[in-house]
Structure 1
Amino acid sequence: MQLPNILKIHPFIQKLQWVADPVDYMENAAQQYPDIFTGKIIGFGDTVVFVNHPKAIQEILTNDRKKFIAVGDKNRIVEALIGERSLFLMEGISHKQKRQLVMPAFHGDRMPAYAQQICSLCTKFFTQLPLNQHFLAHNLTQEITLQVILQVVLGLNEGEKLQQLKYLLPQMLDLFRSPMTSSLFFFSFLQKDLGPWSPWGKFLRDRERIDELIYAEIAERRQQLDPGRSDILSMLISAQDDTGQSMTDQELRDQLMTLMLAGYETTATAIAWGLYWIHQKPLVCEKLLKELDTLGDSPDPMSIYRLPYLTAVCNETLRIHPVIMFCFPRVVQEPVELLGHPLQPGAVLLPSVYLTHQREDLYPQPKEFQPERFLERQFSPYEFLPFGGGVRRCLGEALAIFQMKLILATALSHYEFALVDRRPEQPQRRGFTLAPAGGVKMVITGRHVRQESLVNMTTAPVS
């Protein structure tokens, strides 16, 4: 099969580079072939065509189900984590039907119902941190977003199941905290159950315990249906497709695992990157605090959500360090031409979010953190796509952005932070995401005092 701009590096070396340092792999390839190139990687089939030109990405995403199709089979690498009935692995009409069942739970109109939970949990966790003591922002944001997801998705506010899942889910994912341990997913010969002390054996046993808890909660919820509950599990149990069919227990389990694992880990990483960049750039921090101070002591969550500079900071964070490096892979269905290159049916295309966000022609000085670029220009869905695009755009986008804004705003409005290490944080593979390698080591130096409060204190009459 004729493919565009094939990299000349030995396939095995490419696969090792892709697992160990995907950013370096993609950037080196893009230096040779800026818009489109063919690589030999692992995870989506042996040969993949990386695409990062906005016009080509638009062509791919606007022709979903026609010239190009999202084939769930190309995501089999994540089946061990989320299950075979996950939306990630479905395709065609079954994917469309199940997506329609899940979508209402993540509609933007539902976000205000989750606001109090998010702000309360954020305040609770930051209040527990002592002053002038180092902590890893990534670890803390993981704890916060995990608790949010367990409450919003499963409806667990207290009890033994909540405590066990708070322990087991991070423990299971922590197995893939580095490029080396992440290789368990990419190389099937490493997936050997050699007992509970072997990495894969421990993963399987953790997953089994998590499954037991989830299936037990599903069974209890089916027996005690409460129309007044607003959590996503309750909504999914009640949901029916066009034929009147509800989800099976396995389908519910797999969707819940998908939502929980994708929802908390990715959002936590994005918030940690946000804290890093805000405090790495003093002028950004100063400007953001001035904007937050205009809302007073008890701001309405939707007022926070609509703040323009906070929105720009979040967008720039997701631009410079997209948590997910690529869109859902697409497979060519008929002979087509892309950027002047002929492609035959069966070719696998991977729209690269990371490389698109690093294009100099779209984002001048792409390595610089500049939120103002999102105030000065409106980017198209094919130029800025941190949540993918087309029919496979991330369902949890609204909840992720809502959490990111509220948690950053709540933390910064109450406390003053400082980075412990001023050296640049580097992105590192953590499973299928790009997380800060050092975890963003920070310290709380004091409580934040609103500027308006300072003015009032200095102008108040002395009695």
Structure 2
Amino acid sequence: MQLPNILKTPSLLQKLQWVSDPVGYMENAAQQYPDIFTGEIIGFGETVVFVNHPQAIEEILTNDRKKFTAVGKLNEIAQPFLGNYSVLMLDGDRHKHQRQLVTPSFHGERMQAYGKLICNASEKLFSQLPLNNPFLARNLTEDISLQVILQAIFGLYNEEKIQKLRQLLPSLLNPFKSPWTSSLFFFRFLQQDLGAWSPWGKFLRDREQIDQFLYTEIAECRQKSDPERIDILSLLISSRDEAGQPMTDQELHDQLITLILAGYETTSSAMAWGFYWIHQNPLVREKLLQELDTLGDSPDPMSIYQLPYLTAVCNETLRIYPITMFSFPRVVQESIELLGHPLEPGTVLLPSIYLTHQREDLYPQPKQFKPERFIERQFSPYEFLPFGGGVRRCIGQALAQFEMKLVFATVLSRYHLALADQRTEKPQRRGFNLAPSSGVKMVIIGRRVRQESLVNMTTTPVS
């Protein structure tokens, strides 16, 4: 099979670099072949064609199920986490049906309810932090994301249950903390259960505790059927397929764990990045504060959501280091030509979100954090695609953007923060995503009081 721009680096070295330093791997390859190249990596099959030209990405994402199709089994590397019935593992009509069931929970009236929760959780968690005591921003954004996603999925307000999951999830996600611990999922020969003390054995036992929690929630929801409940679990339990059959407990479990991990892990990293960039760039921070001050002391969440500069800051955060490095892989269905290169059926294509967002012709000085890009220009869905695209676009996109904006607005309006470590924060693989390597160490140096004058700010100690 003829493939475009095959990298000459030995296969094993490519795979090791893909696991340890995916950003370096992609950037080095793109220097040789700016628009399209073929690499050998782990996951999605071994030989993959990376694509980052907007024209080619548009062709791929607008021809879903025709020239190209998304194949769930290509995500089998995530199967130990997500199970066989995750929406990420499903194809065709089954995938479409599951998306249609879940989508209403991330729009409309539900978003209004989430807005209050996000603001309250942000204020509560930050108010508990002592003055001038360093903390990791990512730890707090994890807590906020966890509370939001648990309400969306389970309708949970029970503090005891929330605390239980808050203890269980970090343990389950420990293998994702660094590129080397993530190797457990990329190299199958490491997946050996040698007891609770072994990395894979510990993961399996941590996963079992999460499983027990989820199956208990499923059983309770089935027994206490309430037509007034509109959380995701209730919607899934009440759904029926074409034959009138409900989802099995296993199917429910796999959808729930997918939504929890996707909503918890990715959004918390995105918000941590945002806090880093805002406080590394004083002019950005001051401009953002001036915009927030125009809304008064108790702004409506939807008013916050519509702020143009805040939107630009969030977009630039998602551009410079997108949490998800690539869109859902597609498989070529018929002999085609892409960017002048012939491709045969069976070829796996990986639209690279990261490389597209780093294109100099789209984003001059792409390493610089410049929110003004999104004020000055409208980018197409194939030039700016932090949540992927086509029929596999991230289902929680609206909630993630809403959450980012409300957390930044709530915290920055009330507290004066600073970076506790002036070293440049680097992107690091965290499982399948990109996260700030040190977690973004910060301090609260005072409480911010909004003045009638947009440029006047006072700082008082936090009580």
What is the TM-score when the length of structure 2 is the normalising length?
0.96
Separation (CA, whole Å) in 2 of partners of 1:161 and 1:280: 37
**In the alignment, is the contact (CA less than 8 A) between 1:142 and 1:264 conserved in 2?**
yes
Whole-angstrom CA distance in 1 between matches of 2:274 and 2:147? 19
Deviations 1:182-206 (A, max 9, x none): 0000000000001011111111011
The one-letter code matched in structure 2 to 1:315 is N
Given the superposition, is the C-alpha separation of residues 454 and 349 from structure 1 closer, same or farther in structure 2, using an over 3 Å criterion? closer
Kept after mapping to 2: 8 A contact 1:103/1:395: yes
Q: CA deviation at 1:249?
A: 1.3
Q: Distance in 2 between matches of 1:64 and 1:138?
A: 35
Structure 1 equivalent of residue 41 of structure 2: 41
Aligned equivalents of 1:109, 1:58: Cα separation in 2: 32
Contact 1:334 1:345 in 2 (8 A): yes
Partner of 1:321: 321
Could you tell me whether the CA contact under 8 Å between 2:149 and 2:263 is conserved in 1? Answer: yes
Offset, 1:162? 2.5
Question: Following superposition of structure 1 onto structure 2, how do residues 9-408 of structure 1 map, counting pairs within 5 Å?
Answer: 9-408=9-408
Equivalenced residues, count: 458
Q: Please state how far the C-alpha of 1:314 moved relative to its aligned partner.
A: 0.2
Structure 1: unaligned runs, 5 residues or longer: 459-463
Query: Helix, strand or coil: the match of 1:43?
Result: coil
**Aligned residue for 1:461?**
none
Q: Aligned AA for 2:299?
A: P
Closer, same or farther: CA 282–353 of 1 in aligned 2, 3 Å: same
Counterpart for residue 5 of structure 2: 5
Give 2:352's aligned amino acid. Answer: S
Residue identity opposite 1:7 in structure 2 = L
Q: Write the letter of the residue equivalent to 1:277.
A: W
Q: Gaps spanning 5+ residues in structure 2: where?
A: 459-463
Match of 2:3, SS state, is coil
Check the 8 A contact 1:73/1:89 in 2, yes or no. yes
Deviation of the 1:108 alpha carbon: 4.6
CA distance in 1, matches of 2:431, 2:308: 32
Change (3 A) 1:95 1:131: same
2:461 corresponding residue in structure 1: none
The alignment partner of 1:39 has SS state of strand
Residue aligned with 2:88, SS = helix
Q: Which one is further off, 156-165 or 303-312?
A: 156-165
Q: Is residue 450–residue 457 contact of structure 2 (8 Å, CA) maintained in 1?
A: no
Residue 453 of structure 1, CA deviation: 6.6
> What amino acid sits opposite 1:441 in the alignment?
K
Deviations 1:6-32 (A, max 9, x none): 000000000000000000000000000
How far apart, in 2, do the equivalents of 1:40 and 1:455 lie? 53
- Alpha carbons 1:290, 1:451 under 8 Å: kept: no
**What do residues 345-400 of structure 1 show as CA deviations (whole Å, max 9, x unaligned)?**
01000000000000000001100000011011110000000000001000000111
Identity %: 72
Structure 1 residue 94, shift from structure 2 partner: 1.4
User: C-alpha distance in 1, partners of 2:445/2:243?
Assistant: 58
The answer to which of 67-76 and 138-147 deviates more is 138-147
Amino acid at match of 1:202: K
Does the CA-based 8 Å contact 1:51-1:349 persist in structure 2? yes
1:231, CA displacement in angstroms?
2.1
Report Cα offsets for 1:30-62 as digits up to 9, x if no partner. Answer: 000000000000011010000000000000001
Kept after mapping to 1: 8 A contact 2:451/2:457: no
Cα RMSD between the aligned structures?
A: 1.5
- 1:166 Cα deviation (Å)? 1.1
- In the alignment, the residues of structure 2 paired with residue 264 and residue 311 of structure 1 have an alpha-carbon distance, to the nearest angstrom, of 21
Give the drift of 1:451.
Answer: 3.1
Asked if structure 2 preserves the Cα contact closer than 8 Å seen for 1:122 and 1:411, the reply is: yes
For 1:307 and 1:229, how far apart are their aligned partners in 2? Answer: 32
Per-residue displacement from partner, 1:82-132 (whole Å, max 9, x unpaired)? 110000000112111222222222235531121111111111100110010
Question: Aligned partners of 1:191, 1:93: CA distance in 2, in Å?
Answer: 32
- 1:256 to partner: Cα distance: 0.6
Asked if structure 2 preserves the Cα contact closer than 8 Å seen for 1:101 and 1:240, the reply is no
> How far apart, in 2, do the equivalents of 1:209 and 1:456 lie?
51
Question: In 2, distance between residues paired with 1:313 and 1:454?
Answer: 19
Partner deviation per Cα, 1:51-82 (whole Å, 9 max, x = no partner): 00000000000100001000001000001001
Give the whole-Å Cα distance in 2 for the aligned partners of 1:17 and 1:349. 19
For residues 457 and 405 of structure 1, do their structure 2 counterparts lie closer, same or farther at Cα, with a shift above 3 Å needed? Answer: closer
| Secondary structure of 1:3 counterpart | coil
TM-score, length-normalised on structure 1?
0.96
Are the counterparts in 2 of residues 320 and 357 from structure 1 also a CA contact under 8 Å? yes
CA contact (8 A) 1:326 1:353 kept: yes
Decide whether the 8 Å contact of 1:137 with 1:441 is kept in 2.
Answer: yes
| C-alpha distance in 2 between matches for 1:175 and 1:11 | 24
Give the match's secondary structure for 1:416.
strand
Q: CA deviation at 1:241?
A: 4.1
| CA distance in 1: counterparts of 2:295 and 2:99, whole angstroms | 37
Once the two structures are TM-superposed, the CA of residue 244 in structure 1 deviates from its matched residue by: 3.6
Q: Verify the 8 A CA contact 2:38 2:48 in the aligned structure 1.
A: yes
Alpha-carbon deviations, 1:195-218, whole Å to 9, x = none?
011111111011111111111111
- Change over 3 Å in CA distance of 1:455–1:3 after alignment to 2: closer
CA distance in 2, matches of 1:82, 1:211: 11
**CA 1:456–1:277: 2 relative to 1, 3 Å:** closer
Distance 1:457 1:46 in 2: 55
Cα pair 1:132 1:443 within 8 Å, conserved: yes
Give SS of 2:422's match. coil
